């Protein structure tokens, strides 16, 4: 290499191989995504090539301003974070999402350790890769600029600037007819440009972290408004009898997996024989991940008005305004800020042991439930937040419910997640549904024995995929979702005394069982069922009302909190 070339580029032979190896390690998430993403992977070769070229193009940008060792030290931060990205791609065939990062922040430690315990070999491999990466960075890389010439670096920087400005100009021109104000046009163009970075690691991660930060700030700002918020909820008329209302929030429930709903396996033998139980055939969640779906289930928020949950209270608070004692009894989400706020404001809160390992079954909630019911309070509203069919499914039921076999066993390695093991996943999931059937039927019996004016509603927060489609999608929360993500079981049981007290409401609930419903109807339905009024009540969204209107279109909020319209 002549002197001019030496001044131009720092690529001595003894450093070339190390720079190449480190670069490949940094780009592993991009290389994996190129062949495995639901949009890029499996498409034409030119699309994969363009994505990889764009990834390399953005990867080398910081090298214009940083010396070699410093450059790879900075990139090392993203090497350490890469397993989160790769894991999300592996499970969902897309880069890490905002909801995924939020769920990590709100995840209980025991849930994290449960997952990590099954990944010992991959974790050991990662530790070795990290050790190798940083050894090479500090021992083999000289801290000198890749491109020695300041003039050349300036030319390349100018090229990048022109490239970005060209992109902005293109999208500004494209968006201008749709936005009369220049500021709005710039915002729209900015969003379009950022979209191009949302699949290129680590830029996608930086964007998502900023969105998480912005969301957390919005929630924090909303906390002040929530303190003074009131619905103006009142009980319409005094009921002489005791009133007990119970909302059971299910976890990861598929409508199609209950025999009660036509499934060929007998997964709901007890519920099928439970008198006065109504199963709703066409109810959809409005989010496919717990952190988002809970906000819509419990407040007046909806997919198209999601941020309303940041500034308004829940129907648990509305019940309290109307003179009810309220209780939050849960088997999960103790670290979720949204759940914490509601639970802390309730009359009482009870959380079971936080471990998600075996023997933390939903029936543990019964001791707390019975304790509340023994108080013999006149008006009571209770939330039971269950673990349901939370993955791993085989940890959600005792051995006597291991009916469908072969099923998953123990803290299995995540390498078992493969279409070839589809039947084991289905069997284990169905066993968890069988246990949910047992839990719900017995909970209803406990409420029924009170001889009170009572209603129990069960609804799952979201659904689940079990390799149902040609894409072999598994679990939930992915960017490419299916009907199984959202079509959830909704059961309503009413006591004899409830039907005597509110015959028209009971008749309406039965009449509306096959109407097209979404999760945002639950808020209005619960208050109507309990005969609680408030100035902004919408009977057109109440299951217990003769004025219920079906959803003309269904919208969901995806894992980046963006509104999407469902086409199924």
- pLDDT at residue 347 in the model: 96
In a domain, 219, yes or no: no
- pLDDT at residue 472 in the model: 85
Residue 528's CATH number: 3.40.720.10
Q: Which residues neighbour 398 within 8 Å (Cβ) at sequence distance 6 or greater?
A: 359, 361, 435
In a domain, 173, yes or no: no
What value does the mean pLDDT take over residues 228-241? 92
- pLDDT at residue 174 in the model: 63
- 304 or 38, which is more confident: 304
- The reply to whether 382 and 492 lie within a common domain is yes
- CB-count exposure of residue 446 (10 Å: 0-12, 13-18, 19+): middle
In a domain, 231, yes or no: no
What does the pLDDT look like over 323-371, one tens digit per residue?
A: 999 999 999 887 788 898 999 999 999 998 655 555 689 999 999 999 9
Q: What is the DSSP letter of 249?
A: E
User: Could you give the CA distance from residue 498 to residue 177 in angstroms, rounded to a whole number?
Assistant: 57
Give the SS3 label for residue 257.
Answer: helix
- pLDDT at residue 500 in the model: 97
Q: Which residues neighbour 188 within 8 Å (Cβ) at sequence distance 6 or greater?
A: 171, 175, 178, 179
**Is the predicted pLDDT of residue 191 greater than 80, yes or no?**
no
Please, which pLDDT band fits residue 188 given cuts at 50, 70 and 90?
low
In a domain, 160, yes or no: no
- The reply to whether 132 and 256 lie within a common domain is no
**Is the predicted pLDDT of residue 247 greater than 90, yes or no?**
yes
Please, which pLDDT band fits residue 246 given cuts at 50, 70 and 90?
very high
**Is the predicted pLDDT of residue 45 greater than 70, yes or no?**
yes
- The reply to whether 411 and 560 lie within a common domain is yes
- The reply to whether 134 and 258 lie within a common domain is no
Over its C-alpha atoms, the chain yields an Rg (Å, rounded) of 27
- pLDDT at residue 356 in the model: 56
Q: What is the DSSP string of 349-379?
A: EEE-----STT--GGGHHHHHHHHHTT--SE
- The reply to whether 393 and 507 lie within a common domain is yes
| Mean predicted lDDT score pLDDT of the chain | 86
- The reply to whether 137 and 255 lie within a common domain is no
What does the pLDDT look like over 490-527, one tens digit per residue?
A: 999 999 999 999 999 999 999 999 999 999 999 999 99
What does the pLDDT look like over 83-125, one tens digit per residue?
A: 888 878 877 778 888 877 777 776 555 544 454 455 566 667 8
Q: What is the extent of the structural domain holding 311?
A: 242-565
- The reply to whether 143 and 248 lie within a common domain is no
In a domain, 215, yes or no: no
Q: Which of 8, 360, 298 has the alpha carbon at shortest distance from 153?
A: 8
- The reply to whether 137 and 250 lie within a common domain is no
At which residue do the structure tokens 């801290």 appear? 143
- The reply to whether 248 and 141 lie within a common domain is no
For 67, the token pair is: 């010396």
User: Could you give the CA distance from residue 359 to residue 253 in angstroms, rounded to a whole number?
Assistant: 20
Give Cα separations from 189 to 32, 167, 177, 179, 194 (angstroms).
Answer: 29, 9, 12, 10, 9
In a domain, 382, yes or no: yes
Domain count, the chain: 2
**Is the predicted pLDDT of residue 41 greater than 60, yes or no?**
no
Please, which pLDDT band fits residue 401 given cuts at 50, 70 and 90?
very high
- pLDDT at residue 4 in the model: 43
What does the pLDDT look like over 364-389, one tens digit per residue?
A: 999 999 999 999 899 999 999 999 99
Please, which pLDDT band fits residue 2 given cuts at 50, 70 and 90?
very low
In a domain, 16, yes or no: yes
Phi, psi for 331 (deg, rounded to 5) = -110, 10
Instruction: Please state the pTM of the whole predicted model.
Output: 0.85
**Of 199-203, 247-251, 330-334, 409-413, where does mean pLDDT reach its minimum?**
409-413
What value does the mean pLDDT take over residues 198-204? 86
**Is the predicted pLDDT of residue 7 greater than 50, yes or no?**
no
In a domain, 224, yes or no: no
- pLDDT at residue 177 in the model: 57
- pLDDT at residue 74 in the model: 94
User: Could you give the CA distance from residue 247 to residue 455 in angstroms, rounded to a whole number?
Assistant: 8
What value does the mean pLDDT take over residues 219-237? 87
Q: What is the DSSP string of 45-63?
A: HHHHHHHHHHHHHHHSGGG
């Amino acid at each position: 290499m002549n002197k001019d070339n030496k001044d131009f580029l720092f690529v001595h032979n003894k450093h070339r191989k190390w720079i190449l190896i480190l670069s490949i390690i940094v780009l592993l998430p991009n290389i994996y995504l190129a062949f495995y993403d639901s949009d890029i992977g499996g498409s034409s070769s030119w699309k994969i090539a363009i994505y990889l070229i764009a990834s390399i193009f953005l990867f080398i940008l910081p090298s214009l301003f940083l010396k070699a060792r410093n450059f790879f030290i900075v990139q090392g931060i993203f090497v350490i974070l890469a397993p989160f990205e790769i894991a999300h791609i592996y499970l969902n065939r897309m880069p890490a999402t905002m909801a995924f990062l939020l769920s990590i922040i709100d995840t209980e430690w025991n849930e994290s350790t449960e997952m990590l315990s099954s990944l010992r070999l991959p974790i050991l491999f990662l530790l070795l890769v990290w050790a190798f990466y940083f050894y090479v960075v500090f021992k083999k890389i000289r801290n000198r600029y890749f491109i020695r010439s300041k003039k050349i670096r300036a030319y390349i920087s100018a090229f990048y600037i022109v490239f970005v400005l060209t992109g902005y100009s293109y999208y500004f021109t494209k968006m201008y007819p749709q936005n009369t104000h220049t500021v709005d046009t710039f915002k729209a163009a900015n969003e379009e440009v950022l979209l191009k970075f949302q699949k290129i690691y680590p830029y996608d991660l930086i964007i998502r972290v900023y969105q998480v930060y912005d969301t957390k700030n919005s929630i924090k700002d909303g906390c002040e408004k929530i303190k003074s918020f009131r619905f103006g909820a009142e009980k319409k008329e005094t009921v002489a009898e005791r009133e007990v209302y119970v909302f059971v929030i299910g976890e990861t429930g598929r409508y199609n997996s209950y025999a009660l709903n036509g499934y060929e396996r007998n997964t709901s033998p007890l519920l099928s024989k439970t008198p006065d139980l109504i199963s709703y055939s066409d109810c959809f969640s409005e989010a496919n991940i717990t952190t988002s779906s809970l906000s819509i289930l419990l407040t007046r928020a909806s997919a198209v008005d999601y941020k309303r949950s940041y500034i308004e209270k829940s129907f648990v608070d509305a019940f309290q305004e109307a003179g009810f004692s309220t209780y939050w009894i849960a088997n999960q989400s103790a670290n979720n800020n949204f759940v914490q706020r509601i639970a802390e404001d309730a009359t009482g809160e009870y959380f079971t042991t936080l471990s998600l390992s075996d023997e933390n079954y939903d029936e543990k909630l019964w001791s707390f439930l019975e304790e509340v019911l023994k108080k013999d309070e006149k008006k009571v509203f209770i939330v039971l937040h269950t673990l349901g069919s939370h993955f791993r499914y085989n940890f959600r039921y005792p051995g006597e419910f291991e009916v469908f076999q072969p099923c998953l066993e123990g803290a299995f390695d995540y390498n078992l997640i493969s279409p070839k093991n589809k039947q084991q996943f289905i069997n284990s999931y169905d066993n968890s549904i069988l246990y949910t059937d047992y839990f719900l039927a017995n909970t209803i019996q406990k409420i029924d024995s009170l001889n009170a004016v009572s209603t129990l509603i069960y609804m799952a927060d979201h659904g689940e995929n079990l390799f149902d489609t040609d894409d072999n999608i598994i679990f939930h929360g992915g960017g490419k979702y299916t009907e199984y993500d959202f079509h959830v079981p909704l059961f309503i049981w009413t006591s004899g005394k409830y039907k005597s007290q509110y015959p028209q409401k009971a008749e309406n609930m039965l009449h509306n069982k096959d109407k097209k419903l979404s999760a945002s109807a639950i808020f209005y339905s619960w208050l109507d069922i309990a005969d609680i009024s408030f100035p902004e009540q919408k009977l057109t969204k109440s299951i217990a009302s003769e004025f219920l209107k079906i959803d003309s279109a269904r919208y969901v909020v995806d894992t980046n909190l963006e509104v999407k319209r469902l086409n199924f």
